[in-house]
């Protein structure tokens, strides 16, 4: 016989509280990733000489390489910050059940 009245499965797992500081940090990390991807793409495109609209980047391969390296650095820092905050915000995988409700193993 099933008893489903009053049962809420969402109570079994606790939700972590996401504060505004965490949201702002995740937003900044996402912006770092986007800026890093754009800078590295512009640097690589200038190194390959495919886009003439990048201006002085096409004239100097050193500047183009520097842009690509700075873009990759920003990309990696953004990904590391994003992953650390996401890992911190996730709760453990254990259920919040009382010990007397768990299955007994004999």
Q: Which runs of consecutive H residues, i.e. helices, occur in 1-106?
A: 20-48, 61-89
Side-chain half-sphere exposure of 4, counting CA atoms within 13 A:
1
In the chain, how many domains are there?
Answer: 1
Identify which of 78, 66, 77 has the alpha carbon closest to the alpha carbon of residue 39. 66
Residue 63 forms part of a structural domain: yes
Residue 98 forms part of a structural domain: no
Q: pLDDT at residue 1 above 60? A: no
Residue 9 forms part of a structural domain: no
Identify which of 97, 81, 90 has the alpha carbon closest to the alpha carbon of residue 27. 81
Question: Per-residue pLDDT tens for 21-79?
Answer: 888 999 999 999 999 999 999 888 888 876 666 676 677 888 888 989 999 999 999 99
Q: Domain residues for 75?
A: 32-92
Place of tokens 């254990």: 94
Residue 43 forms part of a structural domain: yes
Top-confidence residue, 45 or 18? 45
């Amino acid at each position: 016989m099933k008893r489903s009245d009053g049962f809420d499965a969402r109570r079994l797992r606790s939700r972590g509280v996401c504060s505004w500081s965490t949201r702002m940090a995740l937003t900044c990390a996402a912006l770092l990733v986007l800026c890093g991807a754009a800078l590295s793409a512009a640097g690589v495109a200038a190194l390959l000489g495919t886009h003439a609209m990048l201006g002085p980047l096409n004239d100097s391969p050193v500047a183009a390489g520097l842009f690509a390296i700075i873009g990759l650095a920003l990309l990696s820092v953004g990904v590391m910050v994003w992953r650390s905050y996401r890992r911190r915000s996730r709760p453990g995988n254990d259920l919040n059940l009382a010990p007397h409700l768990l299955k007994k193993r004999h």
